[in-house]
Amino acid sequence: MNEEKIIDEKFGNENPFRVPDHYFDEFPQRIMKRIAQQKRRRRMIRWGIAAMMTGCIFSSAFILNNSKQQNTAFEAENNQYIEDALDYSMINNMEIATYLTEAE
Amino acid sequence: MINEAQIITQLKDESKKEAAFNILVHEYQEVLYWQIRRLVISHDDADDVLQNTFIKAWMALDDFRAESKISTWLFRIAINESLNFLEKKKKNSDITSDAIEGLTNQLMSDPYFDGDETQILFQKAIALLPEKQKVVFNLKYFQEMKYEDMSQMLGTSIGALKASYHHAVKKITDFFQQND
């Protein structure tokens, strides 16, 4: 006898499984609720990433600006030091100019 | 029966996407559930896998190119999800004779299983099949799916599917003769 027929005669094609009452009535609602949650979570992640990127941009701008200010302060401090050194050595600008001209 | 072209258009429209997906869930939940349930056996597992199937489908909607029918696409996701689930389960406990005895106890105590001893024997014989043969047997025997549709869904040649089905039938009848 054909093997498929043996299975069919012995077991048939009936479905021995059942589902809880109203399972298929309630399932679509459950899945759409999960999808709504998923959408909310994705939106929050997107907002989080946007906030982080904005934070990074502002931090970078702040750090850059700060280092520029520090450089300006350093230059001013350096110029003052040279001025002071010249004062202490009691050499004025005229003398330096004369020395440089003679050196040529 | 849903109008497939209309649903696909609505799924691509952000304002109608959710409503169209809700129609899809209503339309395919039962047929997908029974396919999954026959593979994973317990209702709770089938419920988890069915939820994952629809969530994966929702997340992959933008990638759906409508080259295949929606039903084929959903079936493919459902089968992959079921096989992944069985794979994870197999890692925890190999399909040995003990696990098959475990299946008997599981079915006998399952409030959502109405089968008699013959049906339990049938489920045990199916559980012993390799995963691919199990899928092919379920689709062909219970759902009477055409080999052409199965081939498109599983990405396997018709010849290979026929061979899988033949091997599955042979193994089930052998199991039945040894255990009857």
Interface pTM, i.e. ipTM: 0.84
Percent of chain B residues past pLDDT 70, beyond the cut: 96
pLDDT of residue B150: 94
pLDDT of residue B62: 86
Tell me which chain B residues have a C-beta less than 8 angstroms from the C-beta of A27: 25, 29, 33, 50
The CA-atom distances, in angstroms, between A9 and each of A1, A14, B52, B173 are: 11, 11, 36, 11
Tell me which chain B residues have a C-beta less than 8 angstroms from the C-beta of A31: 25, 51, 54-55
Tell me which chain B residues have a C-beta less than 8 angstroms from the C-beta of A7: 122, 141, 169, 172-173, 176
pLDDT of residue B19: 94
pLDDT of residue A44 exceeding 80: yes
The verdict on a CB contact (< 8 Å) between B21 and A30 is no
- Band of the pLDDT at B95, cuts 50, 70, 90? low
Exposure letters B130-155 (e unless 16+ CB within 10 A, then b): eebbbbbbbbbbebebebebbbbbbe
pLDDT of residue B90: 78
Residue of A1, A6, A10, A17 to mutate when probing chain B, most B C-beta within 10 A: A17
A86 vs B65, higher pLDDT: B65
Nearest to B66 by CA among B14, B145, B12, B139: B12
Residues B82, B155, B13: CA angle, nearest 5 degrees = 75
Domain boundaries, chain A: 23-103
pLDDT of residue A24 exceeding 90: yes
pLDDT of residue B102: 80
pLDDT of residue A42: 83
Whole-prediction pTM:
0.76
Dihedral, CA of residue A57, residue A59, residue A65 and residue A69, to nearest 10: -170
Architecture category of domain B1-92 in CATH? Orthogonal Bundle (1.10)
Domain boundaries, chain B: 1-92, 129-180
Q: pLDDT digit string (tens) for B110-144?
A: 899 988 888 999 999 999 999 999 999 999 999 89
pLDDT of residue A104 exceeding 80: no
Percent of chain A residues past pLDDT 70, beyond the cut: 93
* Topology of domain B129-180, CATH: Arc Repressor Mutant, subunit A (1.10.10)
